[in-house]
Amino acid sequence: MLEPKVWQVTAGSVVLGLTLAAVVVAAAGPWESGQRRAEREWAVAQSRTGGEARDASAPREPAPAPSAAGVLSALRTTGRDAAEANGTDSGGTDSGGADSSGTGSTGKTPALPPGLAKTLGPLLDDDALGPDRTASVVDAVTGERLYGKGDAKAMTPASTIKIATVVAALSALGPDHRIATTVRATPDGRRLTLVGGGDATLDRKGLGRLADDTARALRDRGVTEVELRYDTSLYSGPRQHPIGPNDNIAPVDSLMSGQGRLDRSTSGPAPRSGNPSGDAARVFATLLRERGVRTDGAPERSRAPKETELLARTYSAPLSALAERALTNSDNDIAESLARQTALAAGEPASFAGAGRAVRAQLAKLQLPVAGTVFDDGSGLSRKDRVSAALLTGLLARAASPDRPELRPVLTGLPIARFSGTLRTRYADQPPAGGLVRAKTGTLTGVNALAGTVVDAEGRLLAFAFLASDTPAPDPAQAALDRLSTALLPATAGRP
């Protein structure tokens, strides 16, 4: 049984966390899908639009999905000088243009939280973090660099790369963009093609809605038996992730149902189908039969003929919701889907290579430090990925910018210490962090990372990133990262 003082500390941190959250939400106004309604309306009012071209005759179509125009100005670098004056190590080299922290500056010398440099230094030197570790801490609102150690060095990020993937997708497409899955029919309605659009969240319920509309349209034409095909030509290149068959990700197809999971799970590792698109087509055929439309044999993979017309369509949730789900649950399938949506928006092939080029280019447009970065995938499962701690804190600062409301789901999607997602069971030895630390985790064998936000003793929103490689064991490394992020909190955070 826990000692009374421990219970008091834990309860105090929870109460403080929930109280802080309530105050922030109350001040911010009403929220929808993780964004303030006012911010969403501001973004919609801008000139650039996201989403696909719309056909006026298309069935069951939501309104177009505008997103915000790029309004972020060039950023300055005086925060780096101030941080170095406080004795922190810049580490690495500049990207040659923008500040290597990837954040801006107000021109004021930032006041370091009391003892920050002295506190983080020894914690970062923990042997549990292995021989190679980097760190970056910035004021997320002003962009001032408060602490850095090797922060420009490109490291293997593991799943923290999902922050970059999500930022690229949201900035390229807008938070209201939806991914369509369609059914196309030949003029006589006798041959149908189920066309994948890249929705990694499509499930049996979504296919059921599509089957409802398809069956209704066929009844209007007097058609009761069809030949069914499925089209996955939107994506190109290898379907299998370079790590090979793995419970953490399905083959990357533009058509899938339930992420190809072979059990009843909705997140986390699970046995996966080797042919998720074929499985989805077979589920759709079954749903059509349940609605009185017979299919002629098993569905076959085939491109939709040019003479087909749109018969029915279903949409994913808005990109804002997909982004939050990808970050909270560290969902690899959604992350790879969002990377390919970014590639399509940029006119790149929807492949691992095309998505990597598109994500990097999109971040460069945001004036972030991309020198040395490698986006070998969108999920972070690849050990060839490389990002810097400065890039991660720069991404989080962009997401906090009032000029970038379309990026707000990056912050609202971060797991909450001891409450949600991949941080639900973390920070057991750091009760002050409960409800107060929000961060994306990253874990591969020998690689551990953490990047997120906290509010410090001065009421500032801080963005932090800690990357470590060649770590001896995952649990001690994660505990060390937890201690680093907890050290950024006010000293009284855990007291009742």
**Maximum pairwise Cα distance, the chain:** 78
56-81 per-residue burial string, b: 16 or more CB within 10 A, e: under 16: eeebeeeeebbbbeeeeeebebbbbe
Find how far residue 197's CA is from the centre of its chain: 19
Task: Supply the DSSP string of 310-350, one letter for each residue.
Answer: EEEEEEPPPHHHHHHHHHHTT-HHHHHHHHHHHHHHHT--S
Q: Which of 100, 330, 337, 351 is catalytic?
A: 330
* Integer CA distances (angstroms), 33 to 36, 110, 489, in order: 9, 34, 27
Cβ(411)–Cβ(396) below 8 Å: yes
**d(Cα 412, Cα 339) in Å, to the nearest integer?**
19
Q: Is 265 a catalytic residue?
A: no
Q: In the numeric block, which tokens belong to residue 343?
A: 């590639």
Whose CA is closest to 104, among 154, 53, 140, 158? 140
Q: Report how far residue 236's alpha carbon sits from residue 340's, in angstroms, rounded to the nearest whole number.
A: 10
End-to-end alpha carbon distance in the chain: 19
Catalytic (active site) residue 13:
no
Q: How far apart are CA 78 and CA 463, in angstroms?
A: 17
CA 190 from centroid of its chain's CA atoms: 40
What is d(CA 437, CA 421) in angstroms, rounded to the nearest whole number? Answer: 13
Compute the distance between CA of residue 50 and CA of residue 346 in angstroms, rounded to an integer: 12
The answer to whether 384 is a known catalytic residue is: no
Phi-psi region of 34 (alpha: psi -120 to 50; beta: other; left: phi over 0): left
User: Among the options 101, 162, 171, 440, which is catalytic?
Assistant: 162
- The rounded distance, in Å, linking the Cα atoms of 256 and 236 is 15
Among 136, 159, 337, 401, which one carries the catalytic annotation? 159
The full length of the chain comes to 496
Q: Catalytic site residues? A: 159, 162, 330
